[in-house]
Protein backbone atom coordinates (compact mmCIF):
# COMPACT_ATOMS: atom_id res chain seq x y z
CA UNK A 1 0.00 0.00 0.00
CA UNK A 2 1.38 3.40 -0.94
CA UNK A 3 2.19 5.71 1.96
CA UNK A 4 -0.32 8.35 0.80
CA UNK A 5 -3.10 5.77 0.80
CA UNK A 6 -2.42 4.21 4.20
CA UNK A 7 -4.51 6.78 6.04
CA UNK A 8 -7.62 5.76 4.10
CA UNK A 9 -9.38 2.71 5.57
CA UNK A 10 -11.36 2.50 2.32
CA UNK A 11 -8.23 1.38 0.45
CA UNK A 12 -8.15 -1.94 2.31
CA UNK A 13 -9.09 -5.12 0.48
CA UNK A 14 -12.21 -5.66 2.56
CA UNK A 15 -15.43 -5.97 0.62
CA UNK A 16 -17.27 -3.56 2.90
CA UNK A 17 -17.09 0.06 1.82
CA UNK A 18 -16.49 2.91 4.23
CA UNK A 19 -18.63 5.81 3.08
CA UNK A 20 -17.37 8.46 5.49
CA UNK A 21 -16.95 11.55 3.27
CA UNK A 22 -14.08 12.79 5.44
CA UNK A 23 -11.92 9.93 4.15
CA UNK A 24 -12.36 10.91 0.53
CA UNK A 25 -11.33 13.73 -1.76
CA UNK A 26 -14.74 14.97 -2.86
CA UNK A 27 -15.15 16.57 -6.28
CA UNK A 28 -16.92 19.89 -6.35
CA UNK A 29 -18.53 19.00 -9.68
CA UNK A 30 -19.40 15.46 -10.76
CA UNK A 31 -20.69 14.70 -14.25
CA UNK A 32 -22.38 11.44 -15.25
CA UNK A 33 -23.20 9.98 -18.65
CA UNK A 34 -26.37 8.01 -17.91
CA UNK A 35 -25.81 5.14 -20.34
CA UNK A 36 -27.09 1.58 -20.63
CA UNK A 37 -30.85 1.95 -20.17
CA UNK A 38 -31.70 0.06 -23.36
CA UNK A 39 -29.33 -2.81 -22.61
CA UNK A 40 -30.67 -3.00 -19.06
CA UNK A 41 -34.18 -3.48 -20.46
CA UNK A 42 -33.06 -5.96 -23.11
CA UNK A 43 -31.39 -8.16 -20.49
CA UNK A 44 -34.76 -8.36 -18.74
CA UNK A 45 -36.73 -8.82 -21.97
CA UNK A 46 -38.48 -5.51 -21.36
CA UNK A 47 -39.21 -2.68 -23.81
CA UNK A 48 -36.56 0.05 -24.06
CA UNK A 49 -39.04 2.46 -22.49
CA UNK A 50 -38.83 0.43 -19.27
CA UNK A 51 -35.07 0.93 -19.25
CA UNK A 52 -35.42 4.67 -19.72
CA UNK A 53 -37.93 4.83 -16.89
CA UNK A 54 -35.61 2.86 -14.60
CA UNK A 55 -32.78 5.20 -15.58
CA UNK A 56 -34.86 8.27 -14.78
CA UNK A 57 -35.79 6.82 -11.40
CA UNK A 58 -32.11 6.18 -10.66
CA UNK A 59 -31.31 9.85 -11.13
CA UNK A 60 -33.17 10.48 -7.89
CA UNK A 61 -30.90 7.94 -6.17
CA UNK A 62 -27.79 9.56 -7.64
CA UNK A 63 -28.80 12.94 -6.24
CA UNK A 64 -29.37 11.46 -2.80
CA UNK A 65 -26.05 9.60 -2.87
CA UNK A 66 -24.14 12.67 -4.05
CA UNK A 67 -25.81 14.64 -1.29
CA UNK A 68 -24.38 12.15 1.22
CA UNK A 69 -20.90 13.04 -0.02
CA UNK A 70 -21.49 16.78 -0.14
CA UNK A 71 -21.00 17.15 -3.88
CA UNK A 72 -22.15 20.63 -4.87
CA UNK A 73 -22.74 20.25 -8.63
CA UNK A 74 -24.00 17.18 -10.49
CA UNK A 75 -24.40 17.28 -14.27
CA UNK A 76 -26.14 14.39 -16.02
CA UNK A 77 -26.22 13.66 -19.75
CA UNK A 78 -29.93 13.04 -20.29
CA UNK A 79 -30.51 13.68 -24.02
CA UNK A 80 -27.89 14.47 -26.63
CA UNK A 81 -28.21 16.36 -29.91
CA UNK A 82 -27.55 12.99 -31.59
CA UNK A 83 -30.44 11.27 -29.79
CA UNK A 84 -32.93 12.82 -32.26
CA UNK A 85 -31.84 10.13 -34.71
CA UNK A 86 -33.44 7.42 -32.54
CA UNK A 87 -36.89 6.04 -33.46
CA UNK A 88 -39.64 8.63 -33.07
CA UNK A 89 -41.45 6.52 -30.48
CA UNK A 90 -38.34 6.35 -28.28
CA UNK A 91 -37.74 10.09 -28.54
CA UNK A 92 -41.39 10.69 -27.60
CA UNK A 93 -40.96 8.42 -24.55
CA UNK A 94 -37.87 10.32 -23.45
CA UNK A 95 -39.68 13.64 -23.76
CA UNK A 96 -42.62 12.34 -21.73
CA UNK A 97 -40.29 11.02 -19.05
CA UNK A 98 -38.56 14.38 -18.89
CA UNK A 99 -41.83 16.14 -18.09
CA UNK A 100 -42.97 13.42 -15.70
CA UNK A 101 -39.70 13.42 -13.77
CA UNK A 102 -39.89 17.03 -12.68
CA UNK A 103 -43.61 16.84 -11.91
CA UNK A 104 -43.10 13.69 -9.86
CA UNK A 105 -39.84 14.32 -8.03
CA UNK A 106 -39.79 18.07 -7.49
CA UNK A 107 -41.06 17.73 -3.88
CA UNK A 108 -38.15 15.39 -3.14
CA UNK A 109 -35.69 17.71 -4.86
CA UNK A 110 -37.11 20.52 -2.71
CA UNK A 111 -36.66 18.46 0.43
CA UNK A 112 -33.04 17.71 -0.49
CA UNK A 113 -32.33 21.37 -1.29
CA UNK A 114 -31.49 20.65 -4.92
CA UNK A 115 -31.52 23.47 -7.43
CA UNK A 116 -32.23 22.48 -11.04
CA UNK A 117 -30.57 23.99 -14.09
CA UNK A 118 -30.31 22.97 -17.72
CA UNK A 119 -27.54 23.02 -20.26
CA UNK A 120 -27.90 22.48 -23.98
CA UNK A 121 -29.68 23.99 -26.95
CA UNK A 122 -32.86 24.49 -24.95
CA UNK A 123 -34.30 27.06 -27.37
CA UNK A 124 -34.52 24.34 -30.05
CA UNK A 125 -36.70 22.06 -27.90
CA UNK A 126 -40.50 21.79 -28.20
CA UNK A 127 -42.31 24.59 -26.37
CA UNK A 128 -43.77 22.32 -23.69
CA UNK A 129 -40.28 21.06 -22.81
CA UNK A 130 -38.94 24.61 -22.69
CA UNK A 131 -41.78 25.47 -20.32
CA UNK A 132 -40.81 22.60 -18.00
CA UNK A 133 -37.19 23.80 -18.01
CA UNK A 134 -38.23 27.33 -17.13
CA UNK A 135 -40.60 26.17 -14.40
CA UNK A 136 -38.03 23.86 -12.83
CA UNK A 137 -35.30 26.50 -12.87
CA UNK A 138 -37.48 29.33 -11.56
CA UNK A 139 -39.02 27.19 -8.86
CA UNK A 140 -35.72 25.95 -7.47
CA UNK A 141 -33.57 29.11 -7.48
CA UNK A 142 -33.69 29.37 -3.71
CA UNK A 143 -32.24 25.91 -3.08
CA UNK A 144 -28.56 25.84 -2.23
CA UNK A 145 -27.48 22.41 -1.02
CA UNK A 146 -26.74 21.03 -4.48
CA UNK A 147 -27.20 22.03 -8.11
CA UNK A 148 -28.48 19.36 -10.50
CA UNK A 149 -27.65 20.29 -14.08
CA UNK A 150 -29.53 18.35 -16.74
CA UNK A 151 -27.82 18.28 -20.14
CA UNK A 152 -30.80 18.05 -22.49
CA UNK A 153 -30.51 18.46 -26.25
CA UNK A 154 -26.85 18.88 -25.43
CA UNK A 155 -23.81 18.45 -27.65
CA UNK A 156 -20.34 19.61 -26.71
CA UNK A 157 -19.44 20.53 -30.27
CA UNK A 158 -22.67 22.48 -30.72
CA UNK A 159 -21.96 24.37 -27.50
CA UNK A 160 -18.53 25.37 -28.84
CA UNK A 161 -19.97 26.38 -32.22
CA UNK A 162 -22.65 28.52 -30.59
CA UNK A 163 -20.09 30.19 -28.33
CA UNK A 164 -17.98 30.91 -31.43
CA UNK A 165 -20.99 32.42 -33.18
CA UNK A 166 -21.65 34.76 -30.24
CA UNK A 167 -18.06 35.97 -30.31
CA UNK A 168 -18.09 36.32 -34.10
CA UNK A 169 -21.16 38.54 -33.83
CA UNK A 170 -19.38 40.73 -31.26
CA UNK A 171 -16.35 41.03 -33.55
CA UNK A 172 -18.57 41.92 -36.51
CA UNK A 173 -20.33 44.56 -34.41
CA UNK A 174 -17.00 46.08 -33.41
CA UNK A 175 -17.46 45.34 -29.70
CA UNK A 176 -14.22 43.34 -29.56
CA UNK A 177 -11.36 42.46 -31.88
CA UNK A 178 -10.39 38.90 -32.70
CA UNK A 179 -7.12 39.15 -30.77
CA UNK A 180 -9.10 39.95 -27.61
CA UNK A 181 -10.66 36.49 -27.64
CA UNK A 182 -9.02 34.45 -24.89
CA UNK A 183 -9.85 31.10 -23.32
CA UNK A 184 -11.45 32.98 -20.44
CA UNK A 185 -13.63 35.07 -22.74
CA UNK A 186 -14.58 32.02 -24.76
CA UNK A 187 -15.62 30.15 -21.61
CA UNK A 188 -17.84 33.05 -20.62
CA UNK A 189 -19.91 32.39 -23.74
CA UNK A 190 -20.63 28.74 -23.00
CA UNK A 191 -24.06 27.60 -21.78
CA UNK A 192 -23.35 27.87 -18.02
CA UNK A 193 -20.24 30.01 -17.57
CA UNK A 194 -20.75 30.38 -13.81
CA UNK A 195 -20.54 26.63 -13.15
CA UNK A 196 -17.07 25.22 -12.34
CA UNK A 197 -15.62 22.63 -14.72
CA UNK A 198 -16.31 19.01 -13.76
CA UNK A 199 -13.63 17.40 -11.62
CA UNK A 200 -14.79 13.87 -12.39
CA UNK A 201 -16.78 12.39 -15.28
CA UNK A 202 -18.33 8.96 -14.79
CA UNK A 203 -19.61 6.71 -17.55
CA UNK A 204 -21.31 3.44 -16.65
CA UNK A 205 -22.35 0.67 -19.10
CA UNK A 206 -18.92 -0.50 -20.25
CA UNK A 207 -18.36 2.19 -22.88
CA UNK A 208 -15.13 4.16 -22.55
CA UNK A 209 -15.69 7.43 -24.37
CA UNK A 210 -17.24 10.77 -23.47
CA UNK A 211 -19.54 10.96 -26.53
CA UNK A 212 -19.55 14.73 -27.14
CA UNK A 213 -20.20 15.50 -23.47
CA UNK A 214 -18.68 18.64 -21.92
CA UNK A 215 -15.98 18.79 -24.60
CA UNK A 216 -14.60 22.16 -23.46
CA UNK A 217 -15.38 21.92 -19.75
CA UNK A 218 -14.07 18.35 -19.40
CA UNK A 219 -10.62 19.02 -20.86
CA UNK A 220 -8.93 18.28 -17.52
CA UNK A 221 -11.60 16.16 -15.88
CA UNK A 222 -10.69 12.81 -14.39
CA UNK A 223 -12.53 9.95 -16.12
CA UNK A 224 -13.92 6.82 -14.49
CA UNK A 225 -15.69 3.98 -16.31
CA UNK A 226 -17.86 1.17 -14.99
CA UNK A 227 -19.38 -1.93 -16.58
CA UNK A 228 -22.54 -1.49 -14.50
CA UNK A 229 -25.54 -0.33 -16.54
CA UNK A 230 -26.93 3.03 -15.48
CA UNK A 231 -30.20 1.84 -13.84
CA UNK A 232 -28.09 -0.37 -11.52
CA UNK A 233 -25.51 2.31 -10.73
CA UNK A 234 -25.83 2.91 -7.01
CA UNK A 235 -23.99 3.99 -3.88
CA UNK A 236 -21.41 1.19 -4.21
CA UNK A 237 -20.41 2.30 -7.70
CA UNK A 238 -20.36 5.97 -6.76
CA UNK A 239 -18.15 5.20 -3.77
CA UNK A 240 -15.80 3.15 -5.97
CA UNK A 241 -15.52 6.12 -8.34
CA UNK A 242 -14.76 8.51 -5.48
CA UNK A 243 -12.14 6.13 -4.08
CA UNK A 244 -10.47 6.08 -7.50
CA UNK A 245 -10.71 9.87 -7.71
CA UNK A 246 -9.13 10.21 -4.27
CA UNK A 247 -6.08 8.32 -5.52
CA UNK A 248 -5.65 10.55 -8.58
CA UNK A 249 -2.96 13.24 -8.70
CA UNK A 250 -4.45 16.14 -10.68
CA UNK A 251 -1.59 18.19 -12.14
CA UNK A 252 -3.38 20.24 -14.84
CA UNK A 253 -0.25 20.07 -16.98
CA UNK A 254 2.10 20.93 -14.09
CA UNK A 255 4.39 18.81 -11.95
CA UNK A 256 3.22 16.44 -9.28
CA UNK A 257 3.27 17.64 -5.70
CA UNK A 258 4.34 14.17 -4.56
CA UNK A 259 7.99 14.05 -3.55
CA UNK A 260 8.62 10.61 -5.08
CA UNK A 261 7.48 11.70 -8.55
CA UNK A 262 9.93 13.20 -11.03
Q: What is the DSSP string of 53-108?
A: HHHHHHHHHHHHHHHHHT--EEEEEEEEGGGGGS-HHHHHHHHHHHHHHHHHHHHH
Cα separation, 24 vs 70, in Å, equals 11
pLDDT greater at residue 15 or residue 39: 39
DSSP H helical ranges for the chain: 37-43, 48-69, 88-111, 127-139, 156-172, 183-187, 235-247
Q: How many CB atoms sit inside 10 A of residue 57's CB?
A: 14
Q: Looking at residue 257, what is its pLDDT?
A: 62
Q: Looking at residue 44, what is its pLDDT?
A: 97
Report the candidate in 73, 39, 82 with the shortest Cα–Cα distance to residue 192: 73
What is the rounded average pLDDT of the residues 97-103?
Answer: 93
pLDDT greater at residue 77 or residue 2: 77
Cα separation, 66 vs 242, in Å, equals 10
Going by pLDDT thresholds of 50, 70 and 90, the confidence category of residue 119 is: very high
Q: Looking at residue 252, what is its pLDDT?
A: 64
Chain-centroid distance, C-alpha 2: 31
Which residues belong to the active site?
35, 83
Q: Has residue 99 got a pLDDT over 80?
A: yes
Give percent of the chain with pLDDT exceeding 70: 89
Cα separation, 11 vs 86, in Å, equals 42
Average pLDDT over the chain, rounded to whole? 91
CATH number, span 23-247: 3.40.1180.10
Q: Looking at residue 251, what is its pLDDT?
A: 72
What is the rounded average pLDDT of the residues 102-108?
Answer: 92
Lowest-confidence region among 3-7, 44-48, 194-198, 215-219: 3-7
Q: Looking at residue 14, what is its pLDDT?
A: 43
Going by pLDDT thresholds of 50, 70 and 90, the confidence category of residue 249 is: confident
Going by pLDDT thresholds of 50, 70 and 90, the confidence category of residue 22 is: confident
Lowest-confidence region among 2-11, 90-99, 188-197: 2-11
The residues that bridge with 152 in the sheet, in sequence order, are 79
Q: Looking at residue 17, what is its pLDDT?
A: 54
Amino acid sequence: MRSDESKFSIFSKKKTVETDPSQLKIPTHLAVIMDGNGRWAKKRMLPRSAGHRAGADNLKNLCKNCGHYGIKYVTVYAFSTENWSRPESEVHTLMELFVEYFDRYDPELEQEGIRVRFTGDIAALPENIQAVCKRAEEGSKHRDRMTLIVAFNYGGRREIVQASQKLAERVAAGDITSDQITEELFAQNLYLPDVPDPDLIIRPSGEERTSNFLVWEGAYSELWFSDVLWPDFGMQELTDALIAYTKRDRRFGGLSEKKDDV
